[in-house]
């Protein structure tokens, strides 16, 4: 049996797709944290069979749009005095900036590094985002792996 002590004041990131917890852990910079945090992988889940969980013994500033892009099924529990005081359910954000980088070599963001990376949600059901400059498609949860390049001429 695995024992991880309770969080007195901090965050619990729950319902991460099994096997993807390490990506979220790294994205949040927790691999360099100076406070206690735990990544628990392949935990049994009644909803999904298996899931990952991240416990953070600290209140940190999180860009929830990034978490929603990485995995829209994630929920974040805010813990104060060992009790859940707030539960935040992620959704796919309408736009994301500087989260993923366009891989299209013809995209202006590839050569002009001052141009911000910006993507708009174009299909919520398929979790697809489109680069606003070159129209390349990306799927949420894939951390920037392109679906296809569809550049308009």
Would you write out the chain's pLDDT as a tens digit for each of its 153 residues?
556 678 889 999 999 988 888 888 988 889 898 998 999 999 888 888 899 999 999 988 888 888 888 888 899 999 999 999 999 998 899 999 887 889 899 999 988 989 999 999 999 999 999 999 999 999 887 644 444 433 332
User: Does 79 share its domain with 22?
Assistant: yes
CA angle at 60 for the pair 16 and 87, rounded to the nearest 5°: 50
109, 133 in Cβ contact below 8 A? yes
Residue 49 domain-assigned?
yes
For 76, which DSSP code? Answer: E
CB 76 within 8 A of CB 62: yes
* Residue 128 CB contacts under 8 Å (≥ 6 apart), including other chains: 121, 122, 137, 138, 139, 140, 147
Residues 82 and 111 reside in one and the same domain: no
Number of separate domains in the chain: 2
Q: Which of helix, strand or coil describes residue 12?
A: strand
pLDDT at 143: 46
Instruction: Tokens for 50, please give them.
Output: 């298996």
**Is 4 part of a structural domain of the chain?**
no
**Residue 109 lies in domain:** 95-148
What residues are paired with 137 via a beta bridge?
Answer: 130, 148
- Whether 70 is covered by a domain: the verdict is yes
Asked if residue 100 belongs to a domain, the reply is yes
For residues 26 and 55, membership in a common domain is answered with: yes
Global pTM value: 0.77
Does residue 127 share a domain with residue 85?
no
Q: Is residue 1 part of a domain?
A: no
Q: Which of 39, 56, 89 is the last residue of a domain?
A: 89
């Amino acid at each position: 049996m695995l024992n991880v002590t309770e969080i007195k004041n901090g965050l619990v990131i729950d319902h991460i797709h099994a096997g993807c917890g390490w990506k979220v852990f790294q994205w949040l910079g927790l691999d360099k944290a100076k406070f206690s945090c735990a990544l628990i992988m392949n935990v049994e889940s009644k909803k999904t069979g298996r899931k990952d969980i991240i416990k953070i013994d600290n209140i940190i500033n999180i860009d929830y749009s990034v978490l929603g892009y990485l995995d829209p099924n994630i929920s974040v529990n805010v813990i104060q005095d060992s009790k859940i005081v707030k539960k935040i359910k992620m959704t796919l954000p309408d736009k994301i900036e500087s989260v993923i980088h366009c891989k299209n070599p013809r995209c202006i963001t590839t050569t002009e590094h001052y141009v911000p990376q910006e993507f708009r949600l174009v299909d919520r059901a398929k979790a697809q985002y489109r680069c606003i400059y070159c129209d390349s498609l990306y799927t949420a949860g894939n951390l920037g792996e392109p679906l296809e390049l569809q550049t308009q001429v």
